[in-house]
Each structure stands twice: as structure tokens, then as C-alpha cells.
Structure 1
């Protein structure tokens, strides 16, 4: 049988460029839903399915399906949770449910009927933490030994000062190992990391420790292996816009919008994640959908819960941060700090090599460097929007993350790249963790890891595996991200050794010192900055000399937070600055005696000083 959910109908008179109106009903329209009467309702949008389309449930006769005029199939079957099912397209091809909640094996095999709930939460009253309290820790679940392995690490992360653990994508993906951004079944947690029960236990344990858990989700593309949507729903994709991953997803269609809206709500309700980080939203062909997504999520989550929505957006669309999103990853801040620490100017670092100290000051003062200006590499394009009125907490500041490390040819971390400037790196860490912007730590930073983070896959199709190798080689032949020594071959993404080499928690002689350094800085942040952070605004930031900046923020209680950083290798003398007042309290100095030098209008090389002056 088939039926048409009335809220999913496309108005044939509407312009294809007009985004459809929001759908407010939270009842799932995609996937297999276990009903109260013991039946299971199967829903699939398959507007271009072949006439032979059928639902195959293990142990039952095939059920022929015929989409209605708007492409929907809807049928109820007497089958219990745990039943395996798939959709048959023809005699040669079966496909999983694109909204599968769990796979029996890999992404090419049967899906499993899965009932919602089924877990007794130990902390059902947990409502999350305000965004101002966020100290984000980005982690790859596989490298952390799965959900159970990461669960064992949580107490140490809480003791370090982490308040938000952000999982790299866990949507099911082909093979045993992957970064996660090649997911093809967005509703199905990757079974290589453990069971859904173990994932819920991980999240529940974090809540018991006072920590939030966020999930990285990918709504701009599907991976290259295991995405079968085009075989029965080619309307899911546009035929007029191409992306690096193929045809763009068509967010002009209400069914497509609803698919991802349901996905966002699913992770936040079924698994009780505390927020989502949306990957590379600049690659979404219809960016006007993003405010709608935020509205949909927030209108279906109790206002008492602290749900955080964060974007990665190369376009620096500051307007999104006024339309339901809490923050954006501040790539500008990373790029200018990376250039100051390493001197690299290849690829996008070229856009930050001219007057980088002024760019750093702009970042500390107003968030983005580029707010509508052209870039060196693309002078015809004006990048970004003004950030006026946005709080510092609207920007996530980092020195490393999976992209900035892993998209280098050899995955080098900053400790390797700036190995001759350890004091400068320590000063940059202090700057990052003590500014009012939200800090993000990439797994391993806290212990001074020098292990690379490499790009890894596990494609069983040799043609696809070779295409990935060739693509990486072409990218680095042009020196886009990191220089490739001519005598050193690129690591093979498909080799298991590439994955194991990326394990980040390897003790070094300096591991304890780095851990104590991060812990001390985060303690200062937690006790002296976070309680004053809501309502904070920047007062000024300015260049004091080559690689030397000063910045001031007015905190919510009227106190003034001041930060001075010298990321150069030379002491800075005769600085044109107002000496700190007698009432200013030293919060942190990365070099002993730096605060005393500052009182003499000097700042030693490679150091950061942070002061707090209470309101009078």
C-alpha cells in the first residue's frame, strides 16, 4: 500500500528556486518505525524507482511497492524489532534503507528494524551546559577504541577541564576505518565503534561527569561507496550544480530538507547529544535552508535543554550566527596563528601572510579576519560578512583540528612543524585558551602528541582505493596543503598502517608537562573567565610590534580582561601601551617575569600574559 503524507507534497506551481515552507510535525517520515500495535511502518521516498521495487523482510515474502504521485511509499508490516530488511530494485540489486537506524553488517547489506528508546538513562534530567562554558575536545571515536574506549577516557578529560566532547562523524560508512566524512547512512551509528547501547552509555556517562557531547554531521554530500539514493530517488540531487563529491544535494525539495531535519532531531533526541557541528556548510547549494534547520531543531527541543549548533563555513556567513547557530569554527584565527608559528605561506596561508599581526588583532577583536574583503588568492571574490554585534563566544578558536592536520600531506602536528619554537607554541596555546572565544582542542594536543593525523580509508573496491590515492597525490603535487618532500612517498590512505600511525595518545618525555600546562590554563579559564563570559564584548585589539598584539574585553560583571602576546623570537621593548593598573590581577604568564616586564612596557619573546582588572 502507499500513502502521501500531506505535509510532504511539492507545490507544482512554486518556483524551483524557492525553499519550501518548514514542516513542523516531528513524526518521522523516513525509515522503519515500530508502531504501538506491534507493526512496523516502512517509509521510503523513491520517486524514480523502477517498477520492480519491493520490500524484502527476512523470513517473509517480498512486498511489491509502488510510489504515489509524489514519490512516497508507505506500508505497514507485522514484523518485530530486529528484523532484517532491504529494498529490491531489480533482480540484480538490493539496497539498504537510506534512513536505516542500524545495519546488519556493512553499508551495502540489510538494515535492521530498530525501536526507539530501549535505554534507561541514568541522568534523565541532564539539560546540558551553557555555550559560554564550552571547552571543546574533538576526537575520532575509532582511534579512541570505540564508544567503550572513549567512555573510559572521559574522567581524565573532565579533570583536564574539557566540558564538551565533539565526536567526528559516526554515520555508517564503507569499510572498517574512515574519518567519517564519507558516511552514506546518516541515521545509522557506525557499528565498528560499538553498539547503539554503548553509544548511549558513552553519552550518559559524559552527562554524569558534567560534560556535554556534540556530534559532527555531514549534510553537504554523501560518501563515494554505498550511496544508492540516485538509483531510486535521483531527484534527491541537482543536475545543474556539481560539487567536489558529485551532484549537489537538492535542498529545494521538501522531502530532502525533511530527511536531514529528521536526522538532526534524531541524534538530539534518541541519543541525547547536546549539539551538532555541521561540516562545510558552504558546500550546501541552498544555504537558505540552514536557518530553517536551526528553527526546526529548536522548535522541537524543550527550551530547558542547552542545544548547541555550530557550523564550519568557509564563506564566513556571520548572519547565520544571528539565525539560530551558536558559533562557527574560526578558520581565519587558525590560519593567521599557523602562519605566525610556522611561516608557511602555501595554499590558503598566503591570504594571511601580509600584515599577519594586524590580522590576529582583528581576529581577537571581531572574530573573523575576512568580513567582506577580497583575498589575495581570489581578488574578485569578497569573502565573509560583518560580525558587528556578535559576542566572542560566536567563534570557535583552535590551533589544530582534523582538517588542518589531516589535510596535510603527512599529517604533521604543530609540535612537529614548530619544533624549533616550543615557547612560541606555548604562548599561542595560552592565547587560544584564555581569549573569550570558545577553545577547541584536537585529540592529543593535551599530551604534546607528535603522532601524525593522516587521511585514512578502507575501500574494498580497488578502483576506488586507487582513485583516492591518485586524488591525494594530485592535490599535494600542487602544494595545496603542506609540502611533500620529493624523496618521501605519500602515505597510502587505504593501508591499515596509515590508520594505526594516527593513534594520538603516545607518551613522550614532555607529555606530563603539556598535560599540566593545558590543565592549568583551563583551570584559569573555568574559575576566572567563564563565570564572567556571558555578555562579554571586545573593547579593542591592536598591534604593538612585529608579532606582538594586545587585546581587551569588557566582561559581564564590568571587569576588564587583557591579553598581551608576543609570538615572535625577539623581545619587544618600548611598547606603546598603557601600563597595567595596580589593581590588575595576573591570571597567567607563559614566561616567568613577563608580567613585570610588561609593567616596563616590554614583552619577552614567545610569551603570553593575561590580566584581569576588577570593575571599580
Structure 2
């Protein structure tokens, strides 16, 4: 089976009839197609429609040919809908025939979200080789660990050889530094064969600062009425917005249909400027849900700083009305303050009773549900969320953002007491939330993940200077000498230092951390997932002297109800509590001394869980 997503723009293979090339460039009175094939390079004038579409069909063009567009001032630009740009963002695009790839796992139907255990990874730093093929070779390890969904950081073609991915400018072209489109498809195919979903992080709130030529021939793509840190916002609500909105609709569907991704993580939707109705995000989600081939499970996950719970609402059948889930930074921030003691920046909102806030976040999801946020100047923040299913919250102890946006890129395992980090991780992995691990976290990785890019000239200097100035407001970097130690994002060593050290797993402490993670995910898979397949709700929680306890009610598909009891000790001394009902399913660092009858004792960093059948 092959898959193709038909688009009204870009290069479209017509079989024996050649290739159709189409570009929306309303500012151009004429365009020239520069084509490079087996017979060398030739130029062809393109026909222009009244709406600003330029089109040419070349009967002799084939997959693998190069092409660019020549503007009226002579500037050569790549195709903004390029499927492949092997010579980077300023070079020619290459015609790709997506029907050439034959899917080996064609019967894959995805997995329900209740089974999601997400593993976020950056292709360039996940392996020494930093390629799609090398990541594919590691998939059996992830499947054996208990991961059911890998989430790839953005792949859209970015300038240079290394980048987090959030500076992409060719949104349909997987960056060639990682491999070819066919190699990316093979990665997705191999994950499906192992029973794992693959999610892709996409960026619809801005283009990167280098290699975006849309301003030159299509200024309508941007709306100067909305200004952002990246300049004029993408035009989702001004004149000609319908064409721009369609561009992003097709991008979302392209990854789902042509690459068979199981879902999208949409970056920073709070940074999207759109005053129209319907808003672009619900519109994209509706297109994703309604597209062809949706007999398989497909998911949309949001990053949204506004805690807009209404975007996570369900219908009467429990299906998402807009999005499947959202990254839960509130839980991360409470956990980070509890484990590290840091209260700078946005952590100030979580400085009071962080253990209690961590407990509440696991019980209900968001912490800020409309109350004033000191970090935001006392403005109300968030919306009530207690009615939402807990699986609508993707919860974690670290992400690329929360590690990489630190000045030195330290992970929580390098900042806090390991036994407490492992206890917090156990709470997340065995809770009804959708858990996410950041690559290497499963073995307590302490490799930094730093901010890196590959700009040049004045832009490179400005990015490096801006990075250091950004941290000048923090006490630890108030001194210029301290700021000078912040790594230069453009230095290749910054990128190399961010690569996972897989050899760390040979060390005893990392083997132990991996064993803990593997055991917790086994408990989740074997004992908990079947019990909450039809939903779950929070019944009770408490926090006293660092001892946190939760009880959730779970519903299986056969109607059976269960209760999950979880306790964790983050206090300074051992703790004891009455034993909850049910059979024990997990224990970590139990107190070894004799306990009164009917009690459980936990040493510092201890975790205990039980499961019991609820009374009908």
C-alpha cells in the first residue's frame, strides 16, 4: 500500500504525464520555473491566474528532479511546499513521488489514547548518528521498555545542519540532515510494526528567521496588524486568510495521511494570532478528525500556556471535541520546585507548598484554573478542568523545553536527589494521566540538552548574545563572567554535548533507574491500562508532611470499576499510613521496621500502590 496526500500547491507527480508545479505568489506578475532533470537545467514560464496562482506542467519531469522558482527580480526560491530539500533551505527543491513507498504495516489502526505512554525525542541527538535510520534501530528498545508512542521534535526543514526544529521554514520537507522522506516513512512503519504510535511536533505559530522567502513573493501570508517576537504574525484572520489557512490544513493532513503519523503535537498555540471564528486550531483539528482513512486512531496534542480547558472537552461518547490532550506544565512546575527548590521565573507561581500542588495536579490536571498568577502580574490564569478526563493531561518531569531552556541545559536528574526524582517519576508513570518521558530520562540520564542551532553571520551573533542576555535577570547569571559560560547555540560542541550518552546505562545507578522505570511501565501496562480503558476520575487526595496520597476510580470497558491507591513519601523522614484496601501492585523503598497491623511504612522516596475492585 502507498499513500499520497493531494495538495493544490507544490510539485505533484502525474505519472506518465509528468509533474505539475503550482505556487501562490500574488505579488508576482510572472514567475519562471527553473527545472533540473536528466537533460540539464531549463527554464519555463508559468501561467498566472487572476487569484495569483502560477502553474506549469512538464511532461518530461520526474521524481528526483530539482526545481526552483525565479522571481521577477531574479531571486531563486525553493518551493514552500517542497517535500524534500537536500541542499538546505536556500537550495533547490526536489520532486518526490510519495506513491513510491510501499507501507509494510498497512493494516496498522493505531492505539486508543488511554494506552499512550509518550517518549519525546530529538532525532539529531537521540543517537550518535542523528538519523532516521539510527532512531529506527533503537525502536525495539523503546517498545520493550513499555513506550507506546514516540513523539518526534519538529522535522520541518531548518537552516543549517542542526536545530531543535522550531526554526523550520519548509513545513512539508523533513530536514535532509536526518535522511530522506522514504527513511522517515520507514521509521514510522517500523514503529507501527512494534505496536507504537508516532506523533510529530508541528509549528504553526511562526517561521524560522532564515530561509523563509514568503515575504518576497507572498506578503499576504503575514498580517502586520499582529506583531509577534518573530515579526508580523502568520495571516490567519486578515485578507486572503483562507488560502493561508488551507496551507496549514494541508500540512496537518499531509503528515497524517502521507506519512501515516498517528497524531500531531501543535506547538505553542497561545502564540497564534487569530481573531476570526472558527479559530484556526479547532478548524485544523476538525480537518484531522474528518479526513479520509480515519478508521484508525488519530490524536492531536496541544501546547497551550493559557490552560484553556474548553479545548479538551469531550462529547457524550467521550470523544474529543477539539483536541485529545495538552502538555501539563503546571504539574511539571510543581514537581520541579518540590524536587529542586528553585523558584526563579515562572516557578514563583509554585513556590508555596509545592508538594501539595504536585498532589493536586495529579488529582485534577491543571493547577491554575482561573485564579490570579503572580508571575503574570496577578491576572487570572486558566479555566476549570476538574470535569475533564485525566488522560487529557500529558504530564512529565521534563521536556525539551524545560531542560533546554535552562541556561546550561541541566536535567532534573542532575539537579535533585535521585531517589526523590524516581519517586516523582513513579507517581507520573502510574497515575491515570498520559505520561511522557524525555529521551534518556528512563535511565536517569544526566546528559544536558542545550539550546543549539546553526545560523551564520549577524544572525548567529544576535542569537548567541540574546541567549546570554535572556538569563541576565537570574541571580546565578547576574555576573557577566557567569553569562559568558552559557554555551553558544551555534557552536557545534553545544550540539554534540546534547547527544545522549547511551554508555551511561553501563553504570549501576543508571541500570537501577532503568529497572525502576521498566517495572513501573509494566505495572501500568499489565494492571492499570485494562482498568481505565473506559475512563477514570479522581476520588480523593491528601498531602501531609511530604506524604502524598491519591485514590482514583477506574472504569474498564466491561463496566468493572476499580480503585487505584497511590502513596509517595517526599518528606524528610520515614512515614506510615493505614493500608488502603486491595492488593499491592507496586512498592519502592518500603520501611523495613515492623509496622502496626494494617499500616504501610515508606522510607524517604518510597512509593506504594494498590488496586481494589470497587463496590457496585
State the TM-score, normalizing by the size of structure 1.
Answer: 0.90
Q: Residue in 2 aligned with 1:315?
A: 306
Q: Residue in 2 aligned with 1:383?
A: 381
**Is the counterpart of residue 325 in structure 1 residue 323 in structure 2?**
yes
Of 467-476 and 33-42, deviating more is 33-42
**Would you say the 8 A contact 1:357–1:543 is kept in 2?**
no
Partner Cα separation in structure 2 for residue 99 and residue 588 of structure 1? 50
Q: CA deviation at 1:36?
A: 4.2
Q: Residue in 1 aligned with 2:317?
A: none
Q: Residue in 1 aligned with 2:590?
A: 592
Partner Cα separation in structure 1 for residue 496 and residue 467 of structure 2? 19
**Would you say the 8 A contact 2:568–2:608 is kept in 1?**
yes
**Is the counterpart of residue 360 in structure 1 residue 342 in structure 2?**
no
**Is the counterpart of residue 286 in structure 1 residue 277 in structure 2?**
no
Q: How does 1:209-608 map to 2 (within 5 A)?
A: 209-252=194-237, 253-286=241-274, 288-322=279-313, 323-418=321-416, 421-459=417-455, 461-479=456-474, 486-487=481-482, 489-504=485-500, 505-507=502-504, 508-556=507-555, 557-572=560-575, 579-581=579-581, 584-593=582-591, 599-600=598-599, 603-608=602-607
Q: How does 1:99-138 map to 2 (within 5 A)?
A: 99-138=81-120
Partner Cα separation in structure 2 for residue 528 and residue 35 of structure 1? 51
- Pair 360,185 (structure 1): closer, same or farther in 2 beyond 3 Å: same
- Pair 495,43 (structure 1): closer, same or farther in 2 beyond 3 Å: same
SS at match of 2:99: coil
Cα deviations by residue, 1:521-564 (Å, 9 ceiling, x for unpaired)? 10000001111222333233433313332211111121100111
Partner Cα separation in structure 1 for residue 220 and residue 371 of structure 2? 37
SS at match of 2:522: helix
Q: Residue in 1 aligned with 2:165?
A: 180
Q: CA deviation at 1:597?
A: 5.6
Q: Residue in 2 aligned with 1:161?
A: 146
**Would you say the 8 A contact 2:590–2:602 is kept in 1?**
no
Of 52-61 and 605-614, deviating more is 52-61
Partner Cα separation in structure 1 for residue 228 and residue 591 of structure 2? 53
Of 564-573 and 110-119, deviating more is 564-573
SS at match of 1:213: strand
SS at match of 1:325: coil
Cα deviations by residue, 1:303-361 (Å, 9 ceiling, x for unpaired)? 32111110111111111112331100000010000000001000110011123233223
State the TM-score, normalizing by the size of structure 2.
Answer: 0.90
**Would you say the 8 A contact 1:347–1:480 is kept in 2?**
no
- Pair 156,558 (structure 1): closer, same or farther in 2 beyond 3 Å: same
**Is the counterpart of residue 97 in structure 1 residue 79 in structure 2?**
yes
Q: CA RMSD in A?
A: 2.1
Partner Cα separation in structure 2 for residue 608 and residue 245 of structure 1? 45
Partner Cα separation in structure 2 for residue 522 and residue 482 of structure 1? 39
**Would you say the 8 A contact 2:590–2:601 is kept in 1?**
no
Of 217-226 and 500-509, deviating more is 500-509
Unaligned runs of 5+ in 2: 314-320
- Pair 595,138 (structure 1): closer, same or farther in 2 beyond 3 Å: farther
SS at match of 1:606: strand
Q: CA deviation at 1:363?
A: 1.1
Of 317-326 and 290-299, deviating more is 317-326
SS at match of 2:68: strand
Partner Cα separation in structure 1 for residue 491 and residue 566 of structure 2? 45
Partner Cα separation in structure 1 for residue 401 and residue 480 of structure 2? 20
Partner Cα separation in structure 2 for residue 117 and residue 272 of structure 1? 13
SS at match of 1:188: strand
Matched residues, number: 582
Cα deviations by residue, 1:250-281 (Å, 9 ceiling, x for unpaired)? 11211111111111111111111111111111
Partner Cα separation in structure 2 for residue 371 and residue 39 of structure 1? 56
Q: CA deviation at 1:237?
A: 0.8
**Would you say the 8 A contact 1:405–1:453 is kept in 2?**
yes
